Amino acid sequence: MSLGVSAIGQGLLYGLLGVGLFLTFRILDFPDMTVEGTFPFGAAVAVAAITHGIHPAVATLLALLAGMLAGLVTGLLSTKGHIPVLLAGILVMTGLFSVNLRIMGRANLSLLNEANLFDNAFLKSLPLYADSVVVGLIVCVVVVTGLIVFLNTQLGQGFIAAGDNPTMARSLGIDPAHQQVLGLVIGNGLIGLSGGLIAQNNGYADVNMGIGVIVIGLAAIIIGEVVFGQLSLSQRLVATVLGSVLYRFVLLIVLKLGFNPDDLKVISAVVLAVAIMVPQLEARLRIRRVLRNGVKTNG
């Protein structure tokens, strides 16, 4: 039971990562590799701030701002520096590794004996791992609701249009470059926030904790799309969070089956590959079924 609660809590906290990646990967069609640097950047900033006596809530906000700064740099490199989008993300991701080491002063920084966002009387009174569920649910509701409101504003509609058809958006007076920077700032801000919350929940930050997180984010997006099917844009944001929770349960089941935890990255990649292939296999089977029925009808 406690492992299930933990999976839900971790899924909700990582759901912010999925939502942040959704903005760039799905709406803007931007392959943002900054993610693997932004996530530990948010974690490093939050943990370092807490160890220097800053209130956990403020430290969490600083993680959000740190992620936004990383997204801004990637956006400017791409739009103003005319560096290919994939390379811009890789450059920022690589640079952030050294930045994180500078912030923490070492490769790993612990929150041992330090108060964090999960250390308050109410959360401590809850059952084991329920604190992450409560915090994750509150933050996800606030973030998803805020994004839904934003996407229904004039600016948000311009943001969607710029990702859907940059040429058409330009003809309507919308600058796709500005929208791209905006998407990277918001998306990476959420990813930094996710890193800050995960670090506080785990009790430490590590420079290597960003390795493979892009797979986690993509898995949340794709599993949400596969399981819940055709949805509106607002519903897809919710589906991404739920997809993150389902992904954690898939990993939990795999570990329960006796697989080695050291193989978790490989398993994650396999799960993502299968999730990507499912819609294509369904489409092929549907086409074959239609063709078979057409042949029978003609016969």
Q: 176, 30 in Cβ contact below 8 A?
A: no
Residue 213 is encoded by which pair of tokens?
Answer: 């997180």
The verdict on pTM exceeding 0.75 is yes
What distance, in Å, lies between the first and last C-alpha atoms of the chain?
Answer: 56
What pLDDT tens digit does each residue of the chain (299 aa) get?
A: 677 888 899 999 999 999 999 999 888 888 889 999 999 999 999 999 999 999 999 999 999 999 999 999 999 999 999 998 889 999 999 999 999 999 999 999 999 888 888 888 888 888 888 889 999 999 999 999 999 999 999 998 988 988 888 888 888 888 888 999 999 999 999 999 999 999 999 999 999 998 889 988 988 998 888 888 788 888 999 999 999 999 999 888 888 887 777 777 787 788 778 877 876 776 666 655 655 565 555 55
CA distance 11 to 219: 11
C-alpha pair distances (Å), 116 with each of 66, 130, 164, 256: 18, 15, 40, 30
Residue 236 lies in domain? 2-298
CATH code for position 234: 1.10.3470
Q: How many separate domains does the chain show?
A: 1
With contact defined as beta carbons under 8 Å apart, do 24 and 242 qualify? no
